[in-house]
Structure 1
Amino acid sequence: MTLTSLFRNVSAAAALLAAVAANAADKVVIYNWSEYIPDGVLEEFTEATGIEVEYNTYESNEVMYSKIKIQNAKGYDIVVPSSYYISKMAREGLLAKIDQSKLSNLKHLDTSLLNKPYDKGNQYSIPYTWGSTGIGINTDEIEKSSITSWNDLWDSKWLGSLLLTDDVREVFQMALAIQGHSANTRDPKEIEQAYQLLKTLMPNVLTFNSDAPREPYMAGDVNLGMIWNGEVIMAQEEMPEIDYIYPSEGVILWVDSFAIPANAEHKDAAHQFINFMLRPEIAARTVDYIGYATPNKDALELLDEETRNNPIIFPSQAIISKGEFQEDVGDEATALYNKYWEELKTSM
């Protein structure tokens, strides 16, 4: 082989590697909740940026967290954790810091939903949607005015008929609220008290569901239980008799945020995707599609009046003030919650 031909082969190999690298850069791998992005948005993002999207879904924070941890924060460029999972994952080194200088559309966000305790300064997360977990009810079967509180779910007449979300912290928050304790307690005695109360609820529970909790309501399998507010909005498209109740003890509040795994391969593409999703018109379409509130203040004027004034999507300030956001409670308390959670589920 001559020096010239060797140079040509090396140059060709280098060009091939450069092409592979360029193709790899023009991609973003997203791991998101099921049914959590409007139809056509991913294709529009690719058209606008040239970045291809690989899209995967999960059914719970626990599933997402476990996968990211097992894969050493590799394999995905975007994840969408809820509230306290942001601080938990950041504390464990699973999230990369957000470069806010790359997010020109950050200005559209309502500052009241930024700088929360689970991510001071939004170093690791950018809010996508926010919502609540309250009580779902089929008003064709149960008089809505007869249910006002979490405590009503303990009535023995609901034996073997309730749905609970398959989420340890949400279920414990319900019991803690009844007992006047914080959702974020680390006190072993308070956690045990909540466990003991929940044990008395288990005979009333038919199922746990955090995939699409509206579906058992729509199928007529359950008429009462826990549900996310956006699931009620989606259910009402076919069954307006499915309704939502803010419990008197206080509703469960949460924010789902975009985050970037620490060892993501396409961090620049991830920032471009987040910035695209922060466009007011995209945020407004997201509300219409998934039924959850947007933190995007400039998207609100793009919503129709009925949606903008729907109290299921946008609760009053009084309801928000009485609710509580979850925070990371640390490894020791988390282990205790999980221990009692497994005991509850195996007792059914």
Structure 2
Amino acid sequence: MKKLIFTLLMVAFSSTALAGDLILYNWSEYMPREVLEQFTKETGIQVKEVTYDSNEAMYTKIKMVADHDYDIVVPSTDFVVRMSAEGLLLPLDKSKLPNFKNLDKRFVDQSFDKGNKYSVPYFWGSSGIAVNTQFVPLEKVKSIKDLLNPELKGRILLLNDLRGVFAIALKANGFSVNDQNPEHIQKAYEFLQKLLPSVKVFDSDSPKQAMLSNEAMVGQLWNGEAYVANQENPAIQYVYPTEGYSLWMDHLSIPRGANNVDEAYKFINFILRPDVAAKIAREMGYSSPNAEAVKLLPEETRNSMISYPSDDILARGEFEVGLGEATPIYEKYWLKLKTAD
């Protein structure tokens, strides 16, 4: 009996100790551990990070599990649109985010979330092609269609990301990455069917690892992953395809059902601090939307064509936005692609 009482007391104590802590539901390898520790040191708020490898996985958890307990999520632009429309994100009180002013005006008040009612830009970047020039000459992979070269069979990595993968197939066919025409989506799928025999692995947890281990010689990578891979192995070069490529932005949002909303605001405001945002950008390699943070970055990082491409390269890119009623069509073809024999 005494043991039972002791156990109940310990459970009660543990629950109390966790009150006011924060659960961050984030992409894998997307937040430096030292930043979370610094936040705890400054505020006393403990942060538990749980990770996912796709927007779809995060969306499903938030939508289907009412008592999910997550306090912050990191959706991409198209999922900000989708989740806010479905009431899955809480409207933001900007008075609790004084550091919001540090964000570059180019990345706020966009059409997908006017006034940033539901989202705070965290990172932006591109989805391009990484080439290990130790094995594949750079001049052989300039176009998306070059991925169909028989010499690359079984040597290619693709992201485990519906939007990223369909973006290259749509661009290869001359279409927008946000195309909603069913016939165009089908043509993109048919291109991916042709490419599938060349694909060694789909990975969004840490796709650079397949390149660094030489499991894949050519890979579709997010620019931050490519930046880190290039730092470890300069032979891994990043290519912006001639047909164009997708640009994306990820955001900090507070989901419906969050238990620690005040703590979430404190964390988001902390992340918007220039010194903190710069520390995150230096380690992660992705492009920061924080104008004041960019000023603090080393010149080498600011001048990196991987993280901060020139205006002419940016002009070839296209930001991913919502797919609207075409979403189920994409999901149908994605499932067919991933379950193909």
Is TM > 0.5 for Structure 1 vs Structure 2?
yes
Q: Distance in 2 between matches of 1:81 and 1:124?
A: 11
Are 2:159 and 2:203, in contact at CA under 8 Å, matched by a contact in 1? yes
Corresponding position: 1:130 with 2:117 = no
Corresponding position: 1:283 with 2:277 = yes
Q: Which residue of 1 aligns with 2:259?
A: 265
- Per the TM alignment, residue 151 of structure 1 is displaced from its structure 2 partner at its CA by 1.3
Q: Which residue of 1 aligns with 2:302?
A: 308
Q: Distance in 1 between matches of 2:202 and 2:68?
A: 30
Among candidates 132, 135, 139, match of residue 133 of structure 2? 139
Q: Which residue of 2 aligns with 1:78?
A: 72
Among candidates 80, 84, 89, match of residue 83 of structure 2? 89
Q: Which residue of 2 aligns with 1:153?
A: 147
Q: Which residue of 1 aligns with 2:188?
A: 194
Are 2:35 and 2:280, in contact at CA under 8 Å, matched by a contact in 1? no
In the TM superposition, 1:28-67 aligns within 5 A as 28-67=22-61
Q: Distance in 2 between matches of 1:197 and 1:141?
A: 25
Q: Distance in 1 between matches of 2:81 and 2:212?
A: 35
In the TM superposition, 1:235-274 aligns within 5 A as 235-274=229-268
Q: Structure 1 residues 208, 72: closer, same or farther in 2, change over 3 A?
A: same
- Per the TM alignment, residue 50 of structure 1 is displaced from its structure 2 partner at its CA by 2.4
Instruction: Report the 3-state secondary structure (helix = DSSP H, G, I; strand = E; otherwise coil) of the residue aligned with 1:31.
Output: strand
Amino acid at match of 1:76: Y
Q: Distance in 2 between matches of 1:45 and 1:27?
A: 11
Q: Distance in 2 between matches of 1:225 and 1:74?
A: 34
Corresponding position: 1:342 with 2:335 = yes
Q: Distance in 1 between matches of 2:213 and 2:15?
A: 49
Q: Which residue of 2 aligns with 1:116?
A: 110
Moved more, 304-313 or 70-79: 70-79
Q: Distance in 2 between matches of 1:244 and 1:110?
A: 25
What is the root-mean-square deviation in Å for CA atoms of aligned residues?
Answer: 1.8
Q: Distance in 1 between matches of 2:204 and 2:104?
A: 28
Amino acid at match of 1:108: N
Deviations 1:31-59 (A, max 9, x none): 11112112321122122222222221112
Are 2:132 and 2:235, in contact at CA under 8 Å, matched by a contact in 1? yes
Amino acid at match of 1:128: Y
Instruction: Report the 3-state secondary structure (helix = DSSP H, G, I; strand = E; otherwise coil) of the residue aligned with 1:48.
Output: helix
Are 2:61 and 2:68, in contact at CA under 8 Å, matched by a contact in 1? no
- Per the TM alignment, residue 72 of structure 1 is displaced from its structure 2 partner at its CA by 2.6
Deviations 1:61-95 (A, max 9, x none): 12111111121374111011111111111111110
Q: Distance in 2 between matches of 1:182 and 1:284?
A: 32
Gaps of 5+ in 2: 1-11
Q: Which residue of 1 aligns with 2:96?
A: 102
- Per the TM alignment, residue 156 of structure 1 is displaced from its structure 2 partner at its CA by 2.1
Instruction: Report the 3-state secondary structure (helix = DSSP H, G, I; strand = E; otherwise coil) of the residue aligned with 1:56.
Output: strand
- Per the TM alignment, residue 20 of structure 1 is displaced from its structure 2 partner at its CA by 9.7
Q: Structure 1 residues 294, 136: closer, same or farther in 2, change over 3 A?
A: same
Are 1:181 and 1:190, in contact at CA under 8 Å, matched by a contact in 2? yes
Q: Which residue of 2 aligns with 1:14?
A: none
- Share of identical aligned residues, percent? 45
Are 2:76 and 2:251, in contact at CA under 8 Å, matched by a contact in 1? yes
Q: Distance in 2 between matches of 1:132 and 1:225?
A: 13
- TM-score, normalised relative to structure 2: 0.92
Corresponding position: 1:168 with 2:156 = no
Gaps of 5+ in 1: 1-16
Among candidates 173, 192, 203, match of residue 209 of structure 1? 203
Q: Distance in 2 between matches of 1:205 and 1:42?
A: 36
Q: Structure 1 residues 207, 21: closer, same or farther in 2, change over 3 A?
A: closer
- Per the TM alignment, residue 100 of structure 1 is displaced from its structure 2 partner at its CA by 0.8
Are 2:287 and 2:308, in contact at CA under 8 Å, matched by a contact in 1? yes
Equivalenced residues, count: 330
Deviations 1:171-200 (A, max 9, x none): 111111122211112111111111122211
Instruction: Report the 3-state secondary structure (helix = DSSP H, G, I; strand = E; otherwise coil) of the residue aligned with 1:237.
Output: helix
- Per the TM alignment, residue 162 of structure 1 is displaced from its structure 2 partner at its CA by 1.1
Q: Distance in 2 between matches of 1:342 and 1:137?
A: 27
